[in-house]
Copies of this chain bind each other. A is one copy, B any other.
Amino acid sequence: MATQKSKQPAPDATRRSEKSRRAIYDAALDLVAEVGYPRTTVEGIAARAGVGKQTIYRWWSSKAEVLLEAFLDLSEQAAQQAAPGQAYAIPDTGDLAADLKAVLRMTVDQLKDPRFEAPSRALAAEGVVNEQVGRVFVAKLLEPSLQLYVDRVRAAQEAGQVRPEVDPRIALELWVSPLAQRWLQYTGPISYDYTDTLVDYALHGLAPR
């Protein structure tokens, strides 16, 4: 036990590490936003973060891994800012429409936040032409947040508010994908009104009732 304890870093070393880690995340996000994914390198990230290349390779094995964790960290920060101290889940007040609208309004804010927008665009663009990057980032970044909608739609099915035969993984695309496409491809403006409308159309359908 004494041996194990002596391996723990001193408090100063931990603080130094935490500071380096944050500098590396910031450098990675800034760089990919400025020069794009292909021209972002571990060397470039190290230089901008003011650390040695070895420091990066001690913690991560590639630029893709650094960027992935930098994005996960950014998303976590955004979630904590939006709902401090809360577990990351979609609220269940019993009113599906209201819950979806509330979460989508937060997403609208996040998509318009410049700190989030530029690196996300650079990564999304690379994912479009580089299937491997696309698949990894979708699996690690996008799919876990889509899963929260799956859970919320399932709860609504149990409460009788969504038809039992509906596939929740497809259902969520009726509001997630239109917002994503407007943001990614500049096919239209993004606003609270717009996402509210998507939820109403998706839940109630276009055909008269």
Contacts and interface: CB of A to CB of B under 8 A. Distances in A.
Contacts of A129: 36, 121-122, 125
Chain A interface main SS type: helix
A185 B137 CA distance: 9
A67 B160 CA distance: 51
Contacts of A181: 173, 176-177, 180-181
A186 B125 contact: no
A95 to B, nearest CB: 12
Copies of this chain per assembly: 2
A202 interface: yes
A182 to B, nearest CB: 8
Interface of A: 36, 121-122, 124-129, 131, 134-135, 138, 142-143, 146, 153, 160-163, 166-167, 169-171, 173-174, 176-178, 180-182, 184-188, 194, 197-198, 201-209
